[in-house]
Amino acid sequence: MPDGISAQRARYLAGRRRARLAVHGLRALLLLSFFAGWELAARAGVIDPFIFSSPSRVMRTLMTMGVSGELTVHLLASLAETAAGFLLGTALGTLIAVMLWWSPFLARVLDPVLVVLNALPKTALGPIFIVWMGAGPGAIITMTLAISLIVTILDMHGGFTATDPE
């Protein structure tokens, strides 16, 4: 027995290892089955290639763009747009939270609106923003702003009101 553990403990640990390997193996098989089914459906024409490309085509495009450096350009642009939206959302959210802190009346008026907007799944707004603004920087910045704005307002206002005035 390794490291002086009992036979019962060794059997228990071996069973745990087998179970962990089975879980990881089945997860990998599930993932491979998903991609294989997707590839077969794309090649058979079951799914629209304009909407859902095949995994092999996605990988080819990813490799081509990675080698040419085009992928880096697009990733940096998306990162800059996301950072801009986050900074705008944080700045605007902080400003609105300060206004709500200064005006308890305004806070009472806007509280139900903020609660509803916070409950709204912001990612569901993505397609609306794309239709409204096009698939460009404006949609990405607006999406990031929408995700960060309400959370910033609620958290900052909560922090302001919870702070002892002394």
Mean pLDDT of each 10-residue bin along the chain, 166 residues long: 78 93 97 96 89 91 95 96 97 97 94 91 87 91 94 94 80
Cα separation, 110 vs 151, whole angstroms: 14
Whether residue 159 sits in one domain with residue 78: yes
Q: Do both 73 and 60 map to the same domain? A: no
55-88 residues labelled b (16+ CB within 10 A) or e (exposed): eeeeeeeeeeeeeeeeeeeeeeeeeebbeebbeb
pTM of the shown model: 0.69
Same domain, 7 and 48: yes
Among 52, 68, 84, the domain-final residue is 68
Same-domain status, 26 and 78: no
Contacts of 155 (CB under 8 A, 6+ apart): 97
Do 18 and 32 lie in one domain? The reply is yes
User: Exposed, middle or buried: residue 16 (CB in 10 Å: 0-12, 13-18, 19+)?
Assistant: exposed
139 and 77 fall within a common domain? yes
Q: Which of 68, 86, 107 is the last residue of a domain?
A: 68
pLDDT score for 1: 52
Asked whether residue 149 falls in the same domain as residue 117, the answer is yes
Within this chain, do residues 85 and 158 fall inside the same structural domain, yes or no? yes
Residue after which a domain boundary falls, among 30, 50, 68? 68
6 and 85 assigned to the same domain: no
CA distances for 67 relative to 57, 74, 78, 97, angstroms: 15, 13, 19, 46
Whether residues 63 and 73 share a domain: the answer is no
Question: DSSP string spanning 96-156?
Answer: HHHHHHH-HHHHHHHHHHHHHHHHS-GGGGHHHHHHHH-SSHHHHHHHHHHHHHHHHHHHH
Residues 61 and 94 in one domain: no
| pLDDT at site 102 | 95
Segments forming the whole domain that contains residue 88: 69-166
The reply to whether 62 and 94 lie within a common domain is no
Q: What is the pLDDT of residue 162?
A: 86
In the chain, how many domains are there? 2
For CA atoms 144, 146, 150, 153, the dihedral sign is: positive
Q: Tokens at residue 102, please?
A: 């200064």
| CA atoms of 58 and 63, how far apart (whole Å) | 9
Packing angle, helices 137-162 and 126-133, rounded to 10:
130
